[in-house]
Chains A and B, each alone.
Chain A
Amino acid sequence: MLTINRFLSVLFMITVSALFGSFITYYVGEQNTKAKIIATNFHQVMHETSYNISTELNNLNNLNNFKALLDRKAAQNHLISALVIARGKQILLTTDHSIRKLPKHIHHHTQHQSVNRHFILDNSVHELEFEVYQQNKPIQLSLLLFANQPEIKNYFADTYYQYFVFFIIPTLLVFLFLHQLLKKFLVKPLEKLRLFAYYHDRTPQPLKIKELETIRSSMLQTFQLLSSEKQALYRSSRTDALSELPNRYQLNERLEWLIEESKRTNTPFAYLFLDIDNFKKINDTLGHDAGDEIVVNVAKIMQEALRAYDIIARVGGDEFVIILSKYQNLIELNHIIDRVLLKISQEQIVSNQSINVSASIGVAFYPKDGTDGQELMKSADIAMYEAKKQGRNQHHYFTEELNQRIQIEVNLEKELHLALKNNEFELYYQPKVSSKTKNIIGIECLVRWNHPEKGLVPPGEFITIAEQSGLILPLGDWILKEAIENQLHWQQQYNIQLPVSVNVSALQFSHKDFFNKLETLVNELNFPANFLDIEITESVLMENTQEHLNTLKKIRGLGATISLDDFGTGYSSLAYLKIFPINILKIDKSFLDDYDSKSGAIFIETIVNMAHNLKIDVIAESVETEDQLNFLKQINCEAYQGYLCSKPLPEKEFIELVKNSLSTQA
């Protein structure tokens, strides 16, 4: 099938060929006409000349009298180069004396011969035989006309150039122009319409030609209508008509995508199955319209309570699925679920009646509780029935172990809140001791929780929960403030002034207000910052490098020092020691435990030497024996912490320890 472009090209080629054919025919005709004019001209010249001679010449000896006539005829006609009168092969008279003998190829002139361009160009000498009378005897003579071939060629060439310039080139230009016009106003718009027909998103600009524009606008309207209907159909096929939430089809689609994403990033997500409690009873007592109203309300509540990227779908009459993929930890997840349940359980006005609605949620996790939609739904459904069984308006995790662990963590979080409120935290202090002198040269503050029931809870059991729940921020603030205030108090009360080290968690350090709070605290309490040491872990160096570097520099600018805690346990690069302004490097307990092996000793010595080379002091942690201390002395490790000197002590005991130490020194 022909394209419009090819069709036009063929049409143009045919038209141009036909026109050029006409031009060529006309051109050849004109050339032949010219040839005939030239031939007639030669014919007339030869006949007139020969007639003049034949009527005037009485004696052949007087032929020279006609020299003037011949010269004139040859000179007047630029197409003639010479005229010659010959008798047989003897030249009697010539206008060109360079012609001494007759050429071999002579065209004998007759009136009835076909004359064309080639005839004129091929025959350069024309001959006409005529008679003269010498007395009453006829003598046969020949008049030879030598054509001026270059002039004749130019004469024909003029026509050629004129045709080329005035016919061929203008015609070509006109056709090219027409072709461009048609291309612009017909071919390209048609091509755009064709593309528009295939790809509806490529809407062409309004077209110049009315009919094409009508087609374009009609297509546009049709496609817009189709598109809106398609979208509506697509939406209705994927959306629950009542709640306008995604339906089961869309849920599965998005779930498949999320499963693929989770596989790739190795990140779990939570699959929640929510069922409205006593929904049948509501339907039976208040009617199905009220039931529908509750479904709509619950859907709205969930949309408001959750984030835009959380998936909420209606999969049954009163059944919903929620997929939560972005949560920091299980505690946060727990909070989200509780928030949803709390909002649902608030009093609702349905059919002008105030009723209490609640829901139960079963929680399953991908991939632990199921690797596809069906398995996840089954697990979450089981968990949901467990929640119903346990009294409704609550959530339940699919695995009992997790259920219990989360319960513990949630309770712990609640207790931490109370602990902060009830001032149940207490600082313990562990001295930093000089390896050489055994003098106390500093203090590390360590938090302890005096649980009213459980007794003293070590930080390992609650710091993680505090970090997950965000309680680490107020707790960290309390520790910092308590440490500084106590230090000031000791100074005033006991004249004890030792650098105090405070551990700052990564979360606390990353907080945008951390430095401002620290600076405010130091300034408000008028605490000499050079007696404050901030202990951070390697993880601080690895996250938000530039921001943390700026914070560290500001802390140093304040006058405080920086200690890098638990050195060697993380994945820190040696380059960090060069980049970050670290004052003290604390060798982790795990290295000291292995000090008596050859490789362990080399490791510790290497760390100490490297730190010294970088102008960083070194403190060894968890030193418990004299042998360990002696080793540290050997490798010039400045200080240590550990049970060899003292375990972390409550304030009173620590003050006694310091006093004794000071008295011993004295």
Chain B
Amino acid sequence: MLKIKLILIATFFLLSSCSSQQPSTPIKLTTNSWIGYSPLFYANEKGWLKKANIKIFPLVSLGENMMTFKMGGFDGLTGTQFEYQKVNSQNHNLVPAIMFNRSNGGDMVLSNRSVKALETTKETVDVYLESYSVNTLVFNAFVKSHNLSHKHFNFINKDQLKIVTLIKQKTIQKPTIVVTYIPYNLEIVKHGFNVIDSTKDNPNIMVLDALYVDKNVLNQRHQDFVTLKKLVNKAINNLNENPKEYYEVVKSYIENPSYEDFNKSLKAIKWLNDELSDELLQKMNEINFQTRKLI
């Protein structure tokens, strides 16, 4: 009888321990090719994310990223304030959790004409952009800054990878504008396009890149996101300490730029992994960018 009791107790504890050791569901995040999100790519390649039970799903563009997130099954996405607000407008409850960077030239307007030429041209100007992304904000700020609102624009709505493909496929003679961001600009500038405006040059444009997470998930797994924040900081530290090594690790995620282009791209963003300045916080509040839940 004692033996049976011992066996039953042992079985109970074994089952209990089995159930408690069951791994929790990994945090699933969608992201896209952007130098500003490269700390995530670096942490992923280093295996840190796996240890932290976080899984990322890199996609080609902001629009793809947003659409994929909206399909469901993900806990958060990286993106600009545009995607953040767009998604929230469709019955989502995302909050910014980790700041990555502020675009400092990373989002730009390219054209095969100068601004002056665009101002004077009578022709309809083709505009390639991702209409459902921050590109629209950048383009509108550009038009406003250069008083081009009276011009005739023909909008061609494509994701960035398709835009690059189209530009590469044909020689464009017509006045054309491409609204893009790093790293897609690197290929486009090789086909007769120059930067005529960017987040570095235009103070009216503020593009913030962050990780947005479902509010409930953030509350439930706050510690995991704290860990992620630490990993992001660690990756940026590694970048500062050994950029070449960092480059080698993340280049495949950002369309394989050269090391030089990579370094140039880095200058087009400003990391926001440390404490945020009051001025920035004020600006963020002005554009309804929540900061209360930021880690």
- Residues of chain A touching chain B, judged by Cβ–Cβ distance below 8 Å, are 40, 43-44, 47-48, 51, 54-58, 110-112, 129, 131, 133, 135-136, 138
Q: Is the CB of B67 within 8 A of A51?
A: yes
CB distance from B202 to the nearest CB of A (A): 18
**Chain B residues within an 8 Å CB radius of A55:** 63, 130, 132, 157-159
**Cα–Cα, bound, A515→B283 (Å):** 150
Residue of B whose beta carbon sits closest to that of A48: B71
Residue of A whose beta carbon sits closest to that of B129: A136
- Can you identify 27 A-B contacts, CB atoms within 8 angstroms? A40-B73, A43-B71, A43-B72, A47-B67, A47-B71, A51-B67, A54-B132, A55-B63, A55-B157, A55-B158, A56-B157, A58-B156, A58-B157, A111-B70, A111-B72, A111-B92, A112-B91, A129-B90, A133-B131, A133-B132, A133-B155, A133-B157, A135-B153, A135-B154, A136-B136, A136-B139, A136-B155
B126-160 contact mask (Cβ, 8 Å, vs A): 1 or 0:
01001110001001000000000000011111110
Residue of B whose beta carbon sits closest to that of A52: B67
**Chain A residues within an 8 Å CB radius of B90:** 110, 129
Residues of B in contact (CB 8 Å), total 24
B285 contacts chain A at the CB level, 8 A cutoff = no
B93 contacts chain A at the CB level, 8 A cutoff = yes
Given contacts A54-B157, A133-B131, A138-B131, 5 further A-B contacts (CB under 8 A): A47-B71, A48-B67, A111-B70, A135-B154, A136-B131
CB distance from B128 to the nearest CB of A (A): 11
CB distance from A209 to the nearest CB of B (A): 18
CB distance from B250 to the nearest CB of A (A): 26
**Chain A residues within an 8 Å CB radius of B67:** 47-48, 51
Counting chain B CB atoms within 10 Å of each CB, the highest count among A43, A55, A57, A110 belongs to: A55
Residue of A whose beta carbon sits closest to that of B162: A55
If over half of A's interface residues share one DSSP class (helix, strand or loop), that class is named, otherwise mixed; here it is mixed
**Chain A residues within an 8 Å CB radius of B63:** 51, 55
Q: Is the CB of A58 within 8 A of B155?
A: yes
**Cα–Cα, bound, A421→B154 (Å):** 167
Residue of A whose beta carbon sits closest to that of B216: A112
| Residues from 29 to 83 in B contacting A, C-beta threshold 8 Å | 63-64, 67, 70-73
**Chain B residues within an 8 Å CB radius of A48:** 67, 71
**Chain A residues within an 8 Å CB radius of B156:** 58
Counting chain B CB atoms within 10 Å of each CB, the highest count among A43, A54, A111, A133 belongs to: A111
**Cα–Cα, bound, A112→B64 (Å):** 20
**Cα–Cα, bound, A47→B72 (Å):** 9
**Chain A residues within an 8 Å CB radius of B139:** 136
> Which of B71, B91, B136, B158 lies in contact with A110, CB distance below 8 A?
B91
List 5 A-B pairs, minimum CB-CB distance, nearest first: A133-B131, A51-B67, A110-B91, A135-B155, A47-B71
Counting chain A CB atoms within 10 Å of each CB, the highest count among B127, B136, B155, B157 belongs to: B157
Residue of A whose beta carbon sits closest to that of B73: A40
Known contacts A48-B67, A110-B91, A111-B92: A136-B72 contact under CB 8 Å: no
**Chain A residues within an 8 Å CB radius of B64:** 51
Known contacts A40-B73, A136-B155: A112-B93 contact under CB 8 Å: yes
**Cα–Cα, bound, A220→B127 (Å):** 106
CB distance from B24 to the nearest CB of A (A): 19
**Chain B residues within an 8 Å CB radius of A111:** 70, 72, 91-92
**Chain A residues within an 8 Å CB radius of B70:** 47, 111
CB distance from B130 to the nearest CB of A (A): 8
**Chain B residues within an 8 Å CB radius of A112:** 91-93
**Chain B residues within an 8 Å CB radius of A43:** 71-72
Residue of B whose beta carbon sits closest to that of A36: B72
**Chain B residues within an 8 Å CB radius of A56:** 157
**Chain B residues within an 8 Å CB radius of A110:** 90-91
CB distance from B214 to the nearest CB of A (A): 8
**Cα–Cα, bound, A51→B139 (Å):** 21
**Cα–Cα, bound, A47→B63 (Å):** 12
Residue of B whose beta carbon sits closest to that of A137: B155
**Cα–Cα, bound, A279→B63 (Å):** 137
**Cα–Cα, bound, A40→B71 (Å):** 8
Residue of B whose beta carbon sits closest to that of A39: B72
**Chain B residues within an 8 Å CB radius of A44:** 71-72
| Residues from 208 to 256 in B contacting A, C-beta threshold 8 Å | none
**Chain A residues within an 8 Å CB radius of B73:** 40
**Cα–Cα, bound, A51→B70 (Å):** 10
Residue of A whose beta carbon sits closest to that of B140: A136
Counting chain B CB atoms within 10 Å of each CB, the highest count among A44, A57, A131, A135 belongs to: A135
**Cα–Cα, bound, A321→B70 (Å):** 117
**Chain A residues within an 8 Å CB radius of B131:** 133, 136, 138
**Cα–Cα, bound, A138→B130 (Å):** 12
CB distance from B60 to the nearest CB of A (A): 12
**Cα–Cα, bound, A112→B157 (Å):** 29
